[in-house]
Amino acid sequence: MPKSPKSRDTFAALTAWRRRLVSRAVQGGWRWIQEAGAVSAEHPGRLRFARIGTGTRLAFPQGTVFGEPWIELGDHCVIGEHVTLTAGMMPGLDLGAEPILRLGDGVVLGRGSHVIADTAVTVGSNTYCGPYVYITSTNHSYDDPRIPVGKQWPRTDPVSIGPGCWLGTGAVILPGAKLGRNVVVAAGAVVRGEVPDHVVVAGAPARVVRRWDPELGWQPPLRTPAPVPIPEGVTPQELLALGELDPDRT
């Protein structure tokens, strides 16, 4: 006999309840795994970095990580999920006495980013990288047209990124790049060569599209007004209340 509407409703309610229960269990379990799998100075797991600073955390799951004895991470860095950090062309190489990959204090690497250091790569303090940023000191060579490009010995050149920079989503920093202080790299830009302090670069290859002049300010001028800082003493509750105000009544 077919089920009555009441029976179908009861079955649907039980199914929904069971699904919610399983969903909560899975989500709670995943949060526990993420917490347990994160890497920090207190809980380095199998990774033995040259240094991992106070407050620095590598989110779980990590990307490819090798050459840790030659990787130095400053204090209070945030390394997102699936971030690759490598020193040397392959695991197990002896790269000498000094680290070759250095992140300064407060560096943020967004989800899915890669930092590939076959020779020296330095990222200055308080530099923020969006997701899927690629920083590399190595590039393929194609000198010999008879040999597949992937089998030719690559070229390496040190990379230096100054403090306070912002690298947008999908930016690529090529071997030999030297970025100054507080440089903004637009999303998807491909940077090579030297970039001066306090400029915005965009494009592939990247070029300067805006620069700071001490007398004139940003040139060309910014098209949007500067953000208004939050006044001192404003509580989170007051900010939430402001966000709920009806703009038509203010």
Contact 116, 135 (CB under 8 A): yes
9 Ramachandran zone, left/alpha/beta (phi>0; psi -120 to 50): alpha
Longest distance between any two alpha carbons in the chain, whole Å: 86
CA atoms of 197 and 179, how far apart (whole Å)? 7
- Which sequence positions are flagged as catalytic? 140
Q: How far is CA 57 from CA 73, 83, 95, 186, in A?
A: 10, 12, 25, 26
CA atoms of 101 and 97, how far apart (whole Å)? 13
Contact 162, 180 (CB under 8 A): yes
What contacts 24+ positions apart, CB below 8 Å, involve 47-50?
49/73, 50/99
Strand partners, 200: 184, 210
Residue 146 CB-density burial (10 A; 0-12 exposed, 13-18 middle, 19+ buried): exposed
What one-letter code names the amino acid at 29?
Answer: G
Neighbours of 194 (CB within 10 A): 11
